[in-house]
Amino acid sequence: MDSKQKEPLIHLTKRGGVSKKKAMMIRVLAVIVALIVCAIVTGLTTGINPLGVYSSIIAGAFGSARKTWITFQDVSILLIIALSLTIAFRMRFWNIGGEGQVLMGGLGAAACMICLDGKLPNAVVMILMLISSVFLGALWGFIPALCKALWNTNETLSTLMMNYIATQLVLFFTIMWEVPKGSGKIGIINQNSHTGWLPQVFGSKYLLPILVAAVVTAFVYVYIKYTKHGYEIRVVGESPKTSVYVGINVSKVFIRTMLVSGGLCGLTGLLLVGGINHTLTSTIADGRGFTAVLVSWMAQFNPFAMIVTSFIIVFMDRGAGEIATQFDLNQSFGDILTGIILFFIIGCEFFINYEIHLRKKTTKKEEAKAC
C-alpha cells in the first residue's frame, strides 16, 4: 500500500504545439544517441573500431562520384514510390501494393521495348512506354480501389495480394522473352538499338530519375495540400460519414486517388526498366514498394520530409553493403545498425508529443533551470 501513497516516478503529459525548432532538436539528438548506441553495439559484437565502420558507411554512399550519383538515383526511386503511396495514405487507404504497381509499370515499359523495337520510331516507342507503364501501374491501383468501393474489401490485403500477381506475371513474361532461350533471364533489352532507353539528361545517365523525383515531389505536395482533390482525399480519409454529408462521392475519390497513386508507381517502373536497368526481372522493385511505406510514415506523410527519410534509408543501405565487404561482415550487420537508427528516429516522436515529468523534486529543479 505504501507505494500507492507516492506519486508515480514518472508521468507523462501530452505536449501541445511544440515549436519546430525544438522538435528538430529532439530529432537530431535522437540520431546522435542512435549513433552512440550503434558504436557500442559495433564495438561489443565485432570488436571493430566504430569510427572505421562509420567512415566506410559514408564511403559506401559517397566514396566516389559514381557512388554518389547512384545513391541519389536510389533515393529518387524510393522517394517517388513513397510519394505515390502517400497520396493513398492521406486517404487512410493503406496501399502496400507499391511493389506490384512498380513491377507492372516495368512490365509495361519492357513490353513496349521488346515488342516494338524497330517497328516504330524511338520517340513513339518511348511515349507508348510511358503510357503503358502508367496505365498498368494505375490498373494495379484501380482494382483494389474498385473492390473497396463496391464491397468494402480490406485494401491492405488486396493491394498486398496484387503484388504476388504482378510478380508471377513478370516471371511469366520473363520466360516468354528470355534471351538467350533457357537462361531464364531477359538480359539487357535492345542492347544495340537502344530503343526505348530513356534519354540521358545533360549527358548524365543518373540525372533523369532525380529530376523526375523533384517534379513528383512538388506535384504531390501541391496536389495534397492545395487542390480540391487533395482536400477531398483528406476528408474521405478522416471521416467517410462527413464526406457523404457534404456530397463527396467516396467511391469516386477512392478510385481516382488509387489511379494516381498506382500510376505514379508505374512511372517508377518505367524509370527502372527504361532508364536504369534496361532489363526486367521480378525483383526489379527490390522491396522498395514496402520500404517506401516506412519512408512515408516516418516523414508523417510530408513530401519534403520524405526526401530526408528516403535519404537516410538509402544511405544506410548502401553503407551496409560497403561495411559488409570491407570488414568481411555479414550484410545483416548493416541492417542491425539501420534498425537501431530507425528505432531512435521513430521513437523520438514520442518525446516530441509527450513531456515527461519526474517526481516533484526533480521537476522543480528543471523549472529552476528553465528560468
Partner 1 sequence: MRGISKRFDHKKANDGVDFDLYKGEIVSLLGENGSGKTTLMNMLAGLYFPDEGKIFVGGREVAINSPAGATALGIGMVHQHFKLVDVFTAWENIVLGIEDKYDVPAAKEKISQICDRYGFVVDPDKKIYNMTVSEKQTVEIVKVIFRGADILILDEPTAVLTPQECERLFEVMRNMKQDGKSIIIITHKLNEVMAISDRVVILRRGRYVGQLETARTNPQEMTDMMVGRAVKLDIERPEPVNPAKRLVIKDINVTDVEGVRKVKNVSFYMNSGEILGIAGISGSGQKELLEAIAGIQKTDSGSVKYIDENGNETELIGMHPRDIRELGVALSFVPEDRLGMGLVGNMNISENMMLRTFGESHKWFTDREKPRKVAENVVDVLEVSTPGLDTPVRRLSGGNIQKILVGREISSNPKVLLTAYAVRGLDINSSYKIYDLINEQKKKGVAVLFVGEDLDVLMQISDKIMVLCDGEVSDIVDAKKVTKNEIGFLMTSLEGAKASGQ
Residue 39 Rama label (left phi>0; alpha psi -120 to 50; beta): alpha
Closer CB to partner 1, 12 or 58, in the complex:
12
What spatial distance separates the first Cα and last Cα of the chain, rounded to whole Å?
37
Measured CA distances, 274 to 125, 133, 248, 279, 337 (Å): 11, 10, 38, 8, 33
Residue pair 267/208 in contact by the 8 Å Cβ criterion: no
Stretch that binds partner 1, among 29-37, 150-158, 241-249, 310-318 (CB under 8 A): 241-249
Closer CB to partner 1, 98 or 230, in the complex:
230
Closer CB to partner 1, 185 or 234, in the complex:
234
Stretch that binds partner 1, among 11-19, 81-89, 127-135, 288-296 (CB under 8 A): 11-19
- The grid cell for 104 is 507492372
Stretch that binds partner 1, among 101-109, 236-244, 276-284, 344-352 (CB under 8 A): 236-244
Is 36 near partner 1 (CB under 8 A)? no
Tell me which of 124, 184, 199, 226 binds partner 1, using CB under 8 A.
226
CB proximity list for 113: less than 8 A, separation 6 or greater: 125, 129, 189, 190, 195, 196, 273, 274
Measured CA distances, 265 to 6, 108, 252 (Å): 56, 12, 20
Helix 50-62 / helix 65-89 crossing angle, nearest 10 deg: 80
Transcribe 49-90 into DSSP letters: -HHHHHHHHHHHHHSSHHHHHHHHHHHHHHHHHHHHHHHHHT
Residue 83 CB, shortest distance to partner 1, in Å, is 19
Residue pair 85/292 in contact by the 8 Å Cβ criterion: yes
Closer CB to partner 1, 63 or 237, in the complex:
237
Query: Which residues within the stretch 16-35 sit at the binding site for partner 1 (CB under 8 A)?
Result: 16-17
Instruction: State the binding string over 171-210 for partner 1 (x if CB under 8 A, else -).
Output: ----------------------------------------
Phi, psi of 197 (to 5 degrees): -75, 125
Is 366 near partner 1 (CB under 8 A)? no
Closer CB to partner 1, 17 or 203, in the complex:
17
Is 15 near partner 1 (CB under 8 A)? yes
Tell me which of 130, 235, 314, 316 binds partner 1, using CB under 8 A.
235
In this structure, the dihedral spanned by the alpha carbons of residues 131, 133, 139 and 141, taken in order and rounded to 10 degrees, is -120
- The grid cell for 265 is 508507381
Residue 307 CB, shortest distance to partner 1, in Å, is 24
DSSP helix/strand/coil, 158: helix
Tell me which of 194, 205, 234, 256 binds partner 1, using CB under 8 A.
234
Query: Which residues within the stretch 243-272 sit at the binding site for partner 1 (CB under 8 A)?
Result: 244-247
Is 353 near partner 1 (CB under 8 A)? no
Closer CB to partner 1, 45 or 242, in the complex:
242
- The grid cell for 78 is 524510393
Stretch that binds partner 1, among 14-22, 81-89, 160-168, 343-351 (CB under 8 A): 14-22
Is 8 near partner 1 (CB under 8 A)? yes
Residue 217 CB, shortest distance to partner 1, in Å, is 18
Residue 191 CB, shortest distance to partner 1, in Å, is 43
How far does CA 288 lie from the centroid of its chain?
6
Question: Which residues contact partner 1 by CB under 8 A?
Answer: 4-8, 11, 13-17, 226-231, 234-235, 238-239, 241-242, 244-247
